[in-house]
Amino acid sequence: MEEHRLRTPIPEAAVRALKLGDLVLLSGEIVITAGLPTHERLIECMEGRRELPFSLAHGAFFHLGSYNTETNGGLQVQYMNPTTSTRFNDLMPRLIRHFGFRLVGGKGGLDRRSVDAMAEVGCAYLSFLGGGSPLHSQAIVDVAGVGWNDLVSHYRLLKLRVEDLGPLTVAIDANGNSQYELLREAAQSRLPDILADLAKERLAKGGSA
């Protein structure tokens, strides 16, 4: 396990050098949202039916919800916290390929369709600590851009400047490896033994197998 200090924009080679279990402290500009409608609008942008509020090309795109307040100085982010990435499984492969994301992340991972897309373009998935809002929020420097103000605040597309966001764990690397798949395979391999042990216990107690 290695620790990496990265700053956006991140070269593809630096992303491909990340391995499962490595830790990342991230600085620079990131884009966040927690909204399915926001992802659907991004698809519309890809298809030429809507304009992007700012560029997402080769950037860092994270599934982070936020609590925001409006002030005379603009939008202020009071805190941010990860949301479950698997809610966006059906849309993320297209978004990853189209925008060439270098980093995506949230909690819960993404399925094999996204893993394959990430391997194609040179993108890694960073796992955020669930419930780690104080840790994540203290990295926020300021708000660099706000897209789609008609949405509720945590669904808006926010561009933030952060400093030393993390540590974040590389849970899917840019070479097709997924910690989520490895854990699932390990759990499934243990299942027959677990079921056999349970059957033995039932028999020992006079039950049926």
* Distance (Å) of CA 44 to CA 39, 52, 71, 95: 9, 9, 30, 11
What is the arithmetic mean of pLDDT over 3-24?
97
pLDDT of residue 183: 67
Quick: pLDDT tens for 99-141: 999 999 999 999 999 999 999 999 999 999 988 888 899 999 9
Domain ranges in the chain? 3-177, 178-209
Mean predicted confidence (pLDDT) in 38-50: 97
pLDDT band for 202, please (50, 70, 90 cuts).
confident
Q: What is the DSSP string of 36-61?
A: HHHHHHHHHHHTTSS--SS--TT-EE
Q: Does domain 3-177 have CATH number 3.40.1710.10?
A: no
Residues 29, 56 contacting (CB under 8 angstroms)? no
pLDDT on residue 160: 96
Q: What's the pLDDT at 191?
A: 61
